[in-house]
Structure 1
Amino acid sequence: MKTIELDVFDRNGEFLGKKRFYAILDKSESINKWVKQFDDKNITEIAYMCNPSPDFQHNSQLYISQKKGIEHFNFFKLFADNLIAGAIYFSVRHCIPHTWINHNDQFLSPNAKWQKDSTFQNDCLAFMLFYEKNRITSKEGINHFIPFSESQVGAKEAFESHFIHKFIKGKIKRDSKTTESNNALFSNEDLEQTCFIPTKKLEFSAEAQEVFDAGLELWKYYHSQEFEDSKNPYNPNASLLDIKAHFQGFNDKDKMNPPQKAQDSYYKDLIGTLSAALKSLAKKIEPKVYGYGFLRE
């Protein structure tokens, strides 16, 4: 494989390292082609994930929500059978910060090693659930992405959906018709597993568990609030985005304020702890992004 390796310097002439370019990268299959094998347009989705052009410069367009956005036309339906694959796609593209150095780097179809790494799969799921590009909101439909139970967070009312919590606990029942459909759908010989619905409780790495712990404290704090403002009523189905909106508010252009503008200092501590935990988890995922061939170093 022909490569070109160049030294990289910042604007002040400080050496930043080396950058490798591949002459025949365009012959490799993209991550978008890889993730498409898990798609099924006939399945009822729990959410949508957009899959924009497979490079760093387009990662800002990659998010999950209940509705199709307007940025582009490529969307991937998320449902029980392909949630893990979707989480991997989402997380390998978001766990490494976008810089001018990697701006044009292409995400690729991986080797088969990821299939047997349940820790990697679960880490990606944890990252997707709590990362800022999770735009799930109960204002746009049922929120299937609450990772906790009512008793854990002290909810005052029952949730409309327990999907993610049951998924994590290994309590989602497999539909035989869906499984048969997916056996035909995932006919790629490299895929040894045709269904990624867990049959037992997921085990998370220490870094992922810290993310869950930080998220739990955030949910608990939201549900402990006194909701006396009729313009900002209690929402038992609040998502991560809804909780942020509650504490951070919006500016005069109806754009959510940054966390530092929140009036509640304890909330700022909680969201800061979650952000730090996510960065730690991202660092843990990053080496496997290269090791499994999603990116070339």
Structure 2
Amino acid sequence: MTTTTVATTAFVETRHVLSDDERQIEQTVLAEIHQLFSNPTGDQRETYDTLIARTPIADGVTLEAIDRDGVSGWWVRPSGAPADRTILFLHGGAYLLGSAKAYRGMASQVAVRAGVAVFVADYPLAPEHVFPAAPEAAAAVRRWLGGQGQGVSQVALVGDSAGGALALSVLGDPTTSPTIAAVAVFSPWLDLAMTGASFTSPDIHDPIFEPEMLAGPAGTYLAGADPKDGRASPLYAVPEVLPPLLIQVGGDEILLDDARRYAKAAADKGGEVRLDIFDGLHHVFQGSTRDLPTARRALDEVAAFLSRHWA
């Protein structure tokens, strides 16, 4: 893999180019994804969870299901994790799919690298629960973590796709405890109005999504709400003060410009922003730790980024 880096005082953009060998691996991974959805073993939610659960649960973690105080999810704790800090993981799935249980593997890969416990949150899914149920639930989980009586004073936020947007929506209340130390998001879906140039650019060849594949879920989730409401589309409500932010995205994704535009807006406000663009890799490739060396390295970078910013 080769990299090209462009840096300013507050903003670092790095472009990663895959080796030929890893491009071959990526094609195998994509074929497996398409095969799963072409021959599903259950409904759409079950199929999605089957895909996500392919990320192996890392050695050396304990798992604990939580369903109390209006909060549900899973604790994923590596041995020796400190008690004063936690990573809140908000999962993707276009607001219609996904579960904390399925995401335990990806969360564990972050947890063992960072040496910090991760809480993977469930939140209400559409169409049963439409906007703003998901961002309200994400904010409630943050408050719950601050009130656990476990000495948690800092939280880092991690999320993929729709979960990346939820992570950034949580920033809307800077006074809520616990303090947010840093944020890392994978292929965040930040503009439900889908105005980014990468949605229509002939130079973008997304191996997973066509624009209409996101338009349907966006309409179901919004249920008539304004797609430019900042709680649904954080691109339109970038806070004046942000914690350090890392965004990782594939160079061929239709969501590429969601990441680019948010990164620029955050940097323009003086925030510390790192944007890593991975050419040749699919939406939320970080889950493919079993197969892709770059997925493992990307999560190494996430852990290092978060570790640098704990108070």
TM-score range, shorter chain: 0.3 to 0.5
> Which structure has greater strand proportion?
2
Q: TM-score, structure 1 length as denominator?
A: 0.32
Q: TM-score, structure 2 length as denominator?
A: 0.31
> Which structure has greater helix proportion?
1
